[in-house]
Amino acid sequence: MLGIKSTIRQNKTYIQLCFGQKRHITKKSNLLERYKITSNVFRKPKTGYPYFETATSIKTIAMNRSLIKSMTLIALGKSLVSCAPKEQEVKQPNIIFIMSDDHAYQAISAYGHGLNQTPNIDRIANEGAIFSRATVTNSISAPSRAVLLTGKHSFVNGKVDNVQPFNWDQDNFTKLLQANGYETAMIGKIHMDGKPQGFDYSMVLPGQGKYYNPDFIKNGEKPEVIEGYVTEIITDLALDWMKNKRNPNKPFCLLYHHKAPHREWLPAEKYYKEYTKMTFPKPETLYDDYEGRGTAAKTAEMNIAKEMTWIGDIKIYPETAEEFGIDTPWGRRLFDLNIGRMNEEQRAAWDSVYRPIDEDFKKLFPTMSEKDIMDYRYQRYMQDYLATIASVDDGVGQVLDFLDEAGLAENTIVIYTSDQGFYLGEHGWFDKRFMYEESFRMPLLMRYPKEIKAGTKIDDLVQNLDFAPTFLDYTNTETPQEIQGESFRDLVAGKIDKWRDAVYYTYYEYPSVHMVKRHYGVATKRYKLMHFYYDIDEWEMYDLETDPMEMRNIYDDESYADVRKDLHKRLDELRTYYGDSDENDQKYLNEYLEALKPKKEN
């Protein structure tokens, strides 16, 4: 037999044979069950982290390299019939990773909150899996995307906030897929400067991008304007790449990333005509006074009634805002940047709907109380926010339909997620950043018919840190040691029933817009511990079982003294395990404050 070489990887046992191909021989869990050993034999845990256990782990048995090789040869003898495996056994899956921007899990109907309907996104869950406790490591746009690509925490990949640059020269999972024979593409929003690396084709929005007639940068070249609505354009570009531009003889990985529903929520014509007539249920904590929380919640600047702009967010016309003394330079600038991009036909359609809203506002505003302002702004927020999501859902449906028509659905992994969660009026807020549930949790739905049973529900603590190693696992691509996440392939397939018991979180961008203070913390399924630092030194702790809306900080409640002690211990362990420290916090604070200083003119 030609060139047999065994390799034991993180989640699979493979045989390198014949013409350098890697063929899957047997699952690690099968070997564990047969020989009663733990995963530690296959991968040495990083110091300080109590690794998740497999369902079949019984006890650790010391095992040397020769025994591992013997086991591999046994598996080889039982499994191989020739050096020419069938095509279906070696065919690598395609990947379509769909990410929207600021899409709250509350605004996906599969999660059951009743705000809106997303039948196409729901289809991914119905035909695959839905995750109820998927979370981010840093709830803000560009840092979240850097974690997705690298599989490393923000303080390791260097992109801790929206100010610091991202180093594209470091490894990311698409570079590794390219080296393993994949064709890769990035289409839509990435929100990081520089030409995206790891992609054979890229067509990305500069910065945040615009909703109408947006600029796109193709393969790092000069921006060009594409006329139309951004969500529809991104979907069309993604479909065109899959149909006409990729090599059909290679597996592909497509990052199909939407701008929507990012602020300032400009919907497509067919949906703003529909959604501006709707009324939406209010969250229970819309009028939260932040009693029972610390300084951070009380001083954040993302209250719908107080911090949204009348012109930019609520779409009141500048002249009306000026008439009532509620205009701001920032609001006017947003109006010019957004509405000002529309062509004559788009502007006429927009005015036919938003002018009458403006006229009604003129009649209502003089007698509005503070509560009336909150209620009015909340409804206008939901109308436009949810309308932008309707277009995203349409695009997801088009992509799923294409996969069916092209015969690709069975062998394509489809994931839908967002770069983080978002507040839809909970605690009176919009935006994200905090480690509180609505911004900490991200939606995650996943379909892969070959391995994931329809209707699967996962309640374990998965993070965006885990995307990179999961994709590498599915594609039989070696996972570099520096990647900090874990593959959830076996978890979602139902092959293991124990997983990590806690996740780690950091947030850095302060002082800044919305004024959410710097903090880090640990979360388990039931409890959460956060430390707010820099210009305050405060701890918060929550029991999600008795207080799911996080209304009462129990840090000083002595009935939770043992829990508090355990959480502090777990937090220290995770900071050590991932390589974080007070020195890191100070380093990134100094770099941030330095970057905010006005630049001296030469």
pLDDT per position as a tens digit, 506-516? 999 999 999 99
Question: pLDDT at position 602, please?
Answer: 56
Query: Residue 17 — very low, low, confident or very high, per pLDDT cuts 50/70/90?
Result: very low
What is residue 205's three-state secondary structure?
coil
Of 61 and 218, more confident: 218
Q: pTM of the predicted model, to two decimals?
A: 0.87
Q: Which SS3 state, helix, strand or coil, does residue 130 take?
A: strand
Separation of alpha carbons 242 and 236, rounded Å = 10
- Number of Cα atoms under 13 Å in the Cβ half of residue 337: 17
Q: Examine the pLDDT at 3 and tell me if it is beyond 60.
A: no
Position 457 confidence tier, pLDDT thresholds 50, 70, 90? very high
Strands 134-135 and 224-225: unpaired
Q: What is the band of 79 on the pLDDT scale with cuts at 50, 70, 90?
A: very low
Residue 599 — pLDDT band, cuts 50, 70, 90?
confident
Return the closest-CA partner of residue 423 out of 308, 547, 578, 544: 308
**Homologous superfamily in CATH for domain 94-264+389-499:** Alkaline Phosphatase, subunit A (3.40.720.10)
pLDDT at res. 149? 98
Give the domain ranges of the chain. 5-81, 94-264+389-499, 505-596
CATH of 505-596, one of 3.30.1120.10, 1.25.40.10, 1.10.10.60, 3.30.930.10: 3.30.1120.10
Task: Check whether 347 has a pLDDT greater than 70.
Answer: yes
The answer to whether the 94-264+389-499 and 505-596 domains have the same CATH topology is no
Q: Is 31 helix (H, G, I), strand (E, B) or coil?
A: helix
Mean pLDDT of the chain: 88
Instruction: Flag whether pLDDT at 198 surpasses 50.
Output: yes
Out of 52-66, 268-282, 383-397, 534-548, least confident range: 52-66
Question: In this structure, what token pair is assigned to residue 252?
Answer: 């592909």
Residue 263 above 60 pLDDT? yes
Q: What pLDDT does 88 receive?
A: 38
| Percent residues over pLDDT 70 in the chain | 85
User: How much is the pLDDT for 497?
Assistant: 87
Mind listing the pLDDT tens digit for each residue in 484-511? Answer: 999 999 999 999 989 999 999 999 999 9
Identify residue 563 by its one-letter amino acid code.
V
Q: Stretch 140-158: mean pLDDT, rounded?
A: 98
Q: Largest Cα–Cα distance in the chain? A: 86
Asked whether residue 593 carries a pLDDT value surpassing 80, the answer given is yes
Can you tell me the distance from the alpha carbon of 7 to that of 5, in angstroms, rounded to the nearest whole number? 7
CA-to-CA distance for 244 and 270, rounded, in angstroms? 28
Residue 487: how many CB atoms within 10 A of its CB?
23
3-state SS, 54-115, equals CCCCCCCCCCCHHHHHHHHHHHHHHHCCCCCCCHHHHCCCEEEEEEECCCCHHHCHHHCCCC
Distance CA 191, CA 39 (A): 38
Q: Give the residue-averaged pLDDT of 350-374.
A: 98
Quote the crossing angle between the two packed helices 467-474 and 141-150, to the nearest 10°: 30
**Residue 452 to residue 128: CA distance in whole angstroms:** 6
> How confident is the model over 531-551, as pLDDT tens digits?
999 999 999 999 999 999 999
Tokens standing for 93? 């899956």
Query: Are residues 420 and 139 in contact, defined by beta-carbon separation less than 8 angstroms?
Result: yes
Dihedral of the alpha carbons of 277, 286, 516, 321, in degrees to the nearest 10 = 50
pLDDT tops 50 at residue 184 = yes
Range in 75-79, 215-219, 228-232, 239-243 the model is least confident about = 75-79
| Mean per-residue pLDDT, 295-311 | 98
pLDDT at 85: 37
121-to-391, 397, 451 alpha-carbon distances in Å: 11, 7, 19
